[in-house]
Amino acid sequence: MRIYSKTGDGGTTGLVGGARVPKTDLRIRAIGEVDELNAAIGVAASCAGRTHDPDLPTVQSWLFDLGAEVASPSEGPPGRHWASSTATLERSIDLQWEKLPALKNFILPGGCPQAAALHVARGVCRRAEIALFALREQQGVADEILRFINRLSDWLFVCARTANANAGVEETVWRKGDE
């Protein structure tokens, strides 16, 4: 089997079920943003070497599920129970947050390589969330998916802080640009 089909050379792409849509369709944009998010999380996992967060591959699998659901507009309600995944992220956030120093100021993205990569993933996650909300306005996206992607950006932020704490890297506090 070849990796290329040539069917997209004219500016359309296929959805699950066979429908073809323009590559500029909001659904395709959202799928692309989720795909980029998945890749960014893969970079973050690779930055940690052997000590990477075991939840990162799980989240990447969830993102493949999410992309498949977005690519299946006629399949009906979500195929996975996104509320369960959201609750898992919330538990992880709470457990990590308890161990972190209190956050009294905004912090700048960065720190150790994994934390910096997680901050990038968080930014990509926000863009994916915007794309999914735009798609919802036109064609519909399940509320559970939107809650999950929103919580995921929070989780990535907390994971970045945890990565810095585990590496013994102090976070840089934001100061107004002219200070």
Q: No. of H helices and E strands in the chain?
A: 5, 2
User: Are 13 and 31 contacting, i.e. CB atoms less than 8 angstroms apart?
Assistant: no
SS3 state of residue 27: helix
Q: Compute the distance between CA of residue 94 and CA of residue 79 in angstroms, rounded to an integer.
A: 27
| pLDDT attached to residue 174 | 85
| pLDDT attached to residue 49 | 60
Residue 116's pLDDT band (boundaries 50, 70, 90)? very high
Work out the average pLDDT over 117-126: 97
Q: At 6, give phi and psi (nearest 5°).
A: 70, 0
pLDDT in tens, 6-27: 766 677 776 777 777 767 789 8
CATH fold label, 20-72+80-99+108-167: Hypothetical Protein Ta1238; Chain: A; (1.20.1200)
**Sequence-ordered list of residues with C-beta below 8 angstroms from that of 169, at least 6 positions apart, any chain:** 111, 112, 115
pLDDT in tens, 64-91: 999 988 988 765 555 568 899 999 999 9
Domain map (residue ranges) of the chain? 20-72+80-99+108-167
Work out the average pLDDT over 100-113: 91
Instruction: Report the share of the chain in percent with pLDDT over 90.
Output: 56
| pLDDT attached to residue 75 | 57
Using the predicted structure, report yes or no on whether residue 151 has a pLDDT greater than 80.
Answer: yes
Helix (H) or strand (E) holding 160: helix 143-167
Which has more pLDDT, 5 or 120?
120
Q: Is 13 left (phi over 0), alpha (psi -120 to 50) or beta?
A: beta
pLDDT in tens, 49-63: 655 567 899 999 999
